[in-house]
Amino acid sequence: MWRQDPQPAQDDITARYDERYLEYETEHHLEYRSIALKSLAEAGLYTDHFPVLSDDSGPAAILEIGCATGALLSVFKDAGWRTKGVEVGASLAAYGRSQFGLDIFEGTMEMADLADASFDIVMALHLIEHLNEPRSFLREAFRVLKPDGDLLLITPNVRSFQAL
């Protein structure tokens, strides 16, 4: 794992997610991501990554940390899941609330005051590599997961073929 030294302050990190990031997110990713993810969900292709989708207990509760505009989270909401997002970017969180009707907390996971064992899935895609305290994040993620819950982390591999 690589780390930046000195580590940026939380205010500096939050400032990076301003209106320009929202513009980039909506202009380049939102439409494609929404269409692609809804198609995958309808085709049942999420089952391999989200085992809860395949059981008969009904919709699960999912928490996405670093949810940006909430495009992915909206797929689960539309499928009847109980959804919650956490996003440090004020404009991104506001967009997800207004465009998708999502429950998105503006701030960090630690600030969100989430209940113990309240989510079937905690998801953080391309997030952990941006955190100053990844161990603290992992402790918090496991605290809010139900005992049989799943933690889904996706992070870039700087030595992968895609990174070339």
- DSSP H helices, 101-150, are 134-144
How many Å apart are CA 68 and CA 155, to the nearest integer?
A: 16
| C-beta pairs of 13-18 under 8 Å, 24+ apart in sequence | 13/88, 13/130, 13/132, 14/88, 14/89, 17/87, 17/88, 17/89, 17/90, 17/91, 17/92, 18/89, 18/91
- Whole-model pTM: value is 0.77
pLDDT of residue 4: 65
Condensed to tens digits (0 to 9), the pLDDT of residues 25-67 reads 666 656 656 655 655 556 554 555 554 454 556 668 999 999 9
How many Å apart are CA 88 and CA 66, to the nearest integer?
A: 7
3-class SS at 105?
Answer: strand
Mean per-residue pLDDT, 89-117:
94
pLDDT of residue 52: 46
pLDDT of residue 51: 47
- CATH number of the structural domain 10-154: 3.40.50.150
Rounded-to-10 torsion of CA 40, 50, 75, 127: -110
pLDDT of residue 74: 87
Condensed to tens digits (0 to 9), the pLDDT of residues 127-145 reads 888 788 889 999 999 999 9
